[in-house]
Chains A and B, each alone.
Chain A
């Protein structure tokens, strides 16, 4: 158990809908990262938040957005869902913004199925 929690574990929804994925980082970790794992694209970095502020952006679509709250939990919002958005979404956390001793620890993931 990494200490990172994600809810829900599974999510099934229809095209065009909007969903919210939630992540609670390990106690004391200030950074949260979101990743998408799909069969064709592999593991892709979406976005990083550090202490409530956006820190780095990867291959995140404009239909997707995220935020990190004062209690450091984070939410990933996916809107206007398409079939291709079906994937496993991971959250990871690390103590800092990415320093010499920083290592990312992953949550169990949320499996999103878009029908």
Chain B
């Protein structure tokens, strides 16, 4: 079964600094997608960034970028120039397709605190 592991329950960063959140996953499939979702105190789930497994180039969205290491099954999120509004729970998620349907598996999350 596919699993997603976020080994850091909590992280903190100073405003304007850079922080990296870790995520590893386990799968035997070759075609899959990886996501980072942000859940602020409002509890809304907001898509931050996505990565297709077949792409070697790491995805980037403004201050957010990933380090995707397919062989190591690692998918970390780097937040540059951290802002107070980045404080939230961050969930790593894995999506795979099997027989026309899909499964989405989430990690347990990392709580990010941004200190002014």
Chain A residues positioned under 8 Å from B45 (CB to CB): 90, 92, 106, 109
Are B43 and A108 in touch, CB under 8 angstroms?
A: yes
Give bound CA distance, A90 to B91, whole Å: 14
Are A108 and B44 in touch, CB under 8 angstroms?
A: yes
Min CB distance B110 to A, Å, is: 12
B108 in contact (CB, < 8 A): yes
Residues of B contacting A: mostly: strand
Give bound CA distance, A97 to B102, whole Å: 8
A88 in contact (CB, < 8 A): yes
**A42, A102, A111: most-surrounded residue (chain B CB, <10 A):** A42
Count how many chain A residues have C-beta atoms less than 8 Å from C-beta atoms of the other chain.
24
Are A98 and B97 in touch, CB under 8 angstroms?
A: yes
A33 in complex: contacting residue of B35, B44, B46, B104, CB < 8 Å:
B104
Min CB distance A102 to B, Å, is: 8
B15 in contact (CB, < 8 A): no
Chain B residues positioned under 8 Å from A18 (CB to CB): none
Known pairs A98-B95, A98-B97, A106-B44; A43 contacts B106 (CB<8 A): yes
Residue of B with least CB distance to A54: B101
A68 in contact (CB, < 8 A): no
B101 in complex: contacting residue of A2, A97, A111, CB < 8 Å:
A97
